[in-house]
Every structure is written in structure tokens, then in C-alpha cells.
A and B are shown apart, each in its own frame.
Chain A
């Protein structure tokens, strides 16, 4: 089994043995493959990128070509133990609606996104006057699929507004390995935010 990206490994830690999982924007399917193999999880990945779909098929998962902007009407209420969305929230048309859909079809949601309030991104805007680019945000502003950036604080305000309970939060530095400065000032020093959420 190939080593998983550290942030995905952290996500995998939140998935229990034999759980039913839905991965929104599953990419090449490596997370699901890992969960199938190491956790004996079952479930599906949804993806829209043709290359990602082919790689997911090669990875032996179940991938369904679908557009997350059209919701999750294919799935019944509470059909999954975990609904996962890694680095995809910022790329959908209505993140708020998709979060609600996630928690309709799943008991627990796992969401990760790049924190737009990270100090280096703030530097790009505040000092250089440019839209930020970084390892986590590698697109120029005019070509980026990421249309709804948010910060850790924004996300938590939205969860509160939507009646979503935050069960756990973790933040990672740009090397995706450790909580920066022991988790101090996460909205400033956290580059990737990971959340475990459920309906309040």
C-alpha cells in the first residue's frame, strides 16, 4: 500500500473499521482505496474530472461521475457513516448547501480546506497586493477552480449559522505534518484545516 498524504492520513484516522464512506471529489481515489484496504470500509467516490475517474477505476474503488453542484440526491438520508470532502469545499458553487447535503446523507462529515487567512496568504494580499499562490493554492486567480475561499473563522461561523456542530478541529502547517506552533492562533498559522462535523 502506498503511503497516504499526511492530511489524508489524518482524515483516515477519523474513519472506523467497516464504515460506509462517501468521498466527495475523490480525486484519484487513493484515500478511498486506503480506507477500503486498511479499514475495510465500503462506499463510493464522486468525481467530475475524467483523469481522476480513470485513476479511481484503476485504484479499484467505486467511482461515480457526478457534479457536486447538483447535490447528492442519489443518496438517501443517513446512508453513510462518514461523508468526506477533502480540499473540495472551496471549489463548489454553494459550499453551504453542500455541507447540509453532506450531513443529510452522512452521520458525520469530514471536511478539509485551505485556510485563506494563513499568514503567508495574508502577506500576499496585504504587502504584495497580489492574489495568493502557495503550495496549497497553486493556481493563478484567473484559472483557479477554487471559487469560494474561506478562513477557519469563516467556516466556523457558517457551521454555527447552519446548525452544524464541530466535533473536532485540526490544523496543519504547509508541510502537512504537525499543528503549527502547537495549534496556537490557528487562523493565522494553520494552512490546512480539518474538521469533523455533525448535525447539532
Chain B
């Protein structure tokens, strides 16, 4: 480790890959004969392999959840606020694993990978994947790493959905489920936002029905628009107002009467959109939004979430943020209610924060405190 390792961080990390030659039957009816998962780990697995935590990422995340890739690159992993020494997922006690979801674009098999049957990249031919499929691949990764049972599975947003699905599908392999800013299903409004995002991508002339790689092109504008739209919904009105207000880039008193960037918020959104295009694949974005839309464990039980959660054995920590209108407290409350109906063990905290949905990534003091306190319980249970 470098002497300049950042404080309270896992420091420099390197991703790993696990190859699975065993065929994977997917919920959509198709299957993959082989696939790779990219993942990272932080901390040390104890001899009994009881201190492992699975972290699941959200829509635009990946396996780089904590630490830094190199001394030059300033930006840490997406959950740096929650993973590291002395943090809620304390790497002095836990062995934290985060994998890039199947269908992703950062090392796990996905639309940009080569299809062994054709020798070309999958592109639009990559099968649709679901939250359940991800749980299955993560269970195989657990086998591969010698982890019979996770002390906890944790995630925010779409990651929280995976933690919930874990508790349903693998009740004996998960000690605790940590569902942060999650939901048991998307609302019509949420699906609507996803649909606008998808249409932005699919109507980009460079999309070519998802076979853009063949044409050496990318639907940059569409993906950028999708990300800009998403970004608006991840922030609260108050957070945006606080951050940008009506500030303009130029100091001139009068408006410019043009369509170039004028307000700070426009500049921010364009920057977010453009930088996203450089690191994300449009087909992956489409797949991830469909996985979100399809997630609804209650649907197999006539919409009765309590019935869907009946197999759960893991105690839950559910947290929501007051200003999150994309995955609002009422969505978390639905999960809590269904757990209560089953007499399951659950803790619920509604955190006052004005960051909107993105609060689950932020160092909100009360959030970190509740999360740490709960994880301390988990650590004591497994004796680390």
C-alpha cells in the first residue's frame, strides 16, 4: 500500500474477474452458456467465511464500490462513504464484495461482450436480465469465493431490490438484508421516466436497433438525454435549488437569447450526461431500466407482497430519505408493512435529508449512524 493512501479508505484497489462455464438459465427464457463477472473485494475473509457482505449496485453503478484505482484518478468508488475502515461496512471487520451485474458494461458479460456463438459483440442480442437472475449469478460468485452465507446483503435503490430478492430466493444464505432507498416495485411514474430514457436512446439515429457497435457508432445524444433526465429525478427540487438556483454562467446582467448553456443547472446536466456517455453503454442502460421495471416480487402472489416475503428469514434494515421522490419513504414503508404482516424482524428509519434519491450515496450523518449501528449488530452476531 502506498504511504499516501487516503484516510478512512480501503485505498488502492484492483478489480478481479470470475469466469463461469456453467450455463445460466435466465428468467426471460434464454440462457447464457458462459459468462464472466467482474468484482472487487475489500477487507479480509475470516477463516470461517462468516464475515462476508455482498454489496449490490444501482442502475449506473458497477463493482467499483470503494477505494481508488490509482493515485492519479481522484474519484473513489460509488459507496466510498459507506465502505472502509470505521465506516458502516467496516472493512476492519467485514469482507465486502461487490460485483458488476450481468448485462453490465464494466467487465461483466454484457451487451458489449463478444457473443461466443457469433464472434461479434452481443449488442441488442444480449438477453434481458432480471433482479432474480442477478441474485443467481451472485450466489454462484459466493460459491466461487467460498462464501456459504453472506452476513448481510446491502444495496441502495436497484441494489436494495437485489438485497430484497436475496432474502426471498436464498433465505438460508443471507444473514441480514439492508435495503436503502429501495422499493418493492416501481410506480407508474418511475416506469414512465424509464420509458422516456429508453425512447431517448432508441430514437437516436446512431442507435441502429442496438447494433451500433457494428457501425462503430454510439447513440451518444440519446444516452446523454437519458442520463440528464435520470439525474433530475435523483435530486430533489430543494437540492437543485440550493446547488444551482437560477445562477448563470456569465456575469452579464441580461439574458443571452440563445440556446447554448446559460444557466448553471444546464451546464451541470450536460456535463453529467456527457461524462456518463464516456463510461456507460446504451444497451446496458436499456437492460438495467427494464430490470427495474420488471422487479415486482409480489406479482407472483396476486400483488400480495407479504406472501412474497413469507420465505424471508433475514432481519431487514430498511431506510428511506424524506426528499426522495423517485423511491419515496412510502415505497420503503410498503416493504416494512409486508414484513410486519409476516412478523419478520425489521428496523426502519426515515432519514431527513434534502438530497433526493442520491442521498443513499451521501455522507448524511444520521444515515451513516443508523447504518453503522445496525452493522455493528451484524458484526457482533458473526463475532467479528
Contacts and interface: CB of A to CB of B under 8 A. Distances in A.
Contacts, number: 45
A191 B370 CA distance: 35
A64 B347 contact: yes
Interface string B330-372: 0000001100110101111110100000000000001001100
A54 interface: yes
A57 B347 contact: yes
A42 B340 CA distance: 12
B371 to A, nearest CB: 9
Interface in B86-132: none
Contacts of A62: 315, 345-347
A65 B348 CA distance: 6
A57 B370 contact: yes
Interface in B303-347: 315, 317, 336-337, 340-341, 343, 345-347
Nearest to A67: B350
Interface string A50-64: 100110111010111
Contact of B373 (A20, A44, A57, A76): A57
B107 to A, nearest CB: 36
A17 to B, nearest CB: 17
B347 A63 contact: yes
B193 interface: no
A6 B345 CA distance: 28
Which one of B340, B341, B374 has the greatest number of beta carbons of chain A within 10 Å?
B340
A135 interface: no
Bin the interface of chain A by size.
Answer: 10 to 19
Interface string A143-164: 0000000000000000000000
B243 interface: no
B322 to A, nearest CB: 11
B213 interface: no
B377 interface: yes
Contacts of A64: 336, 340, 346-348
Interface in A48-107: 50, 53-54, 56-58, 60, 62-66, 74-76
B340 A54 contact: no
A64 B336 CA distance: 8
A75 B306 CA distance: 13
Contacts of B349: 50, 53, 57, 65
Given A44-B340, A60-B377, A54 B369 contact: yes
Nearest to B341: A76
A58 B373 contact: yes
B350 A65 contact: yes
B341 to A, nearest CB: 7
Interface string B206-223: 000000000000000000
B347 A58 contact: no
Contacts of B274: none
B347 A74 contact: no
12 contacts: A20-B343, A44-B340, A50-B349, A56-B347, A57-B347, A57-B374, A58-B376, A58-B377, A60-B377, A62-B347, A64-B346, A65-B348
Interface of A: 20, 42, 44, 50, 53-54, 56-58, 60, 62-66, 74-76
